[in-house]
Amino acid sequence: MSLKFNNEGDGGNDDLMSAALFVDTNDKDDDDGRPPQDGMEYLRQVIKERKRVPDTVTAEMDPDKVPVKAAKKEASGPGAVPNNIQSSPSILSGRHKAAPPPGCCPGVVWQREQVKQFSEVRAKLARHVKLTKLNGEQEKHKIPDKKNEALWCHLMLGGEIWNLVNKSREDEDEEEIPKGKTDVAGETPKLGFVTAMPVYVCEQVLEYVISWLEVTGWRAEFGPWVYTLLTRLEKPLTPDVGSSLRDLALFCAQQRLQFASKVEAVEAGGVPDDNIAALNLFICLVAKYFDQGDLVDREEE
């Protein structure tokens, strides 16, 4: 079977293939300045304008008038950034993942097992959420407004954590932030409450948690809530959720360095403590389950 294209009469040598829609441009003169009166007249005007545009256009630029936006920092002291790398966005952005310290990098088999277990938990939780919707059990739990960050922090981690967050924002926020109630202790995630949380609320609360972590540093009480919120996220990720997960993994990698410098986990054959194990877990899930492959922990790092 063969196909033969006949370009004659369909635009001459300028066309590589026959026109999909025939437009008569020979007998009409639409250059009278008036708006096109119908679809064909509009197409004729477009075709004529196209022919007036040259195939190659050269822009004349005056280098003296091009604004220079690159920030120039003076190098001073041992921590200054050298001049030859100041223009590199990847270095100045702070988005580099810290490599795992010696003795703290999880093995491939361990990472694969964590992803498998996490996937099974998500599947079971999804079935449970579907069942509770059918039975109307979700209505029994009152979920706080997703915009009430103070209430969420009290509920999850307690008033003392909120006071730390509050203190860090005193100079930033113009609005008065409610004080934390130190007599309120946080609670661990409950199945009924978690399954009643809409996914969009989980996404917002995860963003809150990451911002709290950046203030307080890693604490063991964050672990159950972070894991729980990850089980409720939906794939494919939205750009905002993907960015939050990357923030989480980068934070965990940085905290892992700090913990490794304080414990004997870096010794040959040493076993990381529980905090490092938790940080390894969240880096693993973000990288492998949520498809942020460039953040995977590897021994050669």
Q: How far is residue 40's CA from residue 26's CA, in Å, rounded to a whole number?
A: 13
- pLDDT at position 112: 96
* Residue 276 belongs to a domain: yes
Q: How far is residue 269's CA from residue 140's CA, in Å, rounded to a whole number?
A: 50
Which residue range(s) make up the domain with 21? Answer: 12-52
Q: Are residues 284 and 178 in the same domain?
A: yes
Q: Which two tokens stand for residue 188?
A: 């661990």
* Residue 239 belongs to a domain: yes
Angle at 238 between CA 237 and CA 242, to 5 degrees: 65
Q: What residues contact residue 41 under an 8 Å CB cut-off, 6+ apart?
A: 28, 30
What is the mean pLDDT of each successive set of 10 residues along the chain, which is 301 residues long?
48 57 64 74 82 76 60 39 36 68 90 97 94 79 92 94 89 66 87 93 97 95 97 95 96 93 57 83 97 88 52
- pLDDT at position 40: 80
3-state helix, strand, coil in the chain (%, to 5): 50, 0, 50
As for how many domains the chain has, the answer is 2
Using CA atoms, how far residue 265 sits from 100, 256, 260, 261, 297, in Å, is 12, 11, 6, 8, 17
Q: Are residues 205 and 289 in the same domain?
A: yes
Q: Which two tokens stand for residue 165?
A: 């967050």
- pLDDT at position 64: 67
Q: Are residues 47 and 113 in the same domain?
A: no
Name the residue among 123, 184, 194, 126 with its Cα closest to residue 153: 184
* Residue 242 belongs to a domain: yes
CB 282 within 8 A of CB 244: no
Task: Report the predicted TM-score, pTM, of the whole model to 2 decimal places.
Answer: 0.66
* Residue 83 belongs to a domain: no
Q: What is the CATH number of the domain that holds 246?
A: 1.20.58.1070
- pLDDT at position 268: 44
Q: Are residues 133 and 279 in the same domain?
A: yes
* Residue 174 belongs to a domain: yes
* Residue 139 belongs to a domain: yes
* Residue 121 belongs to a domain: yes
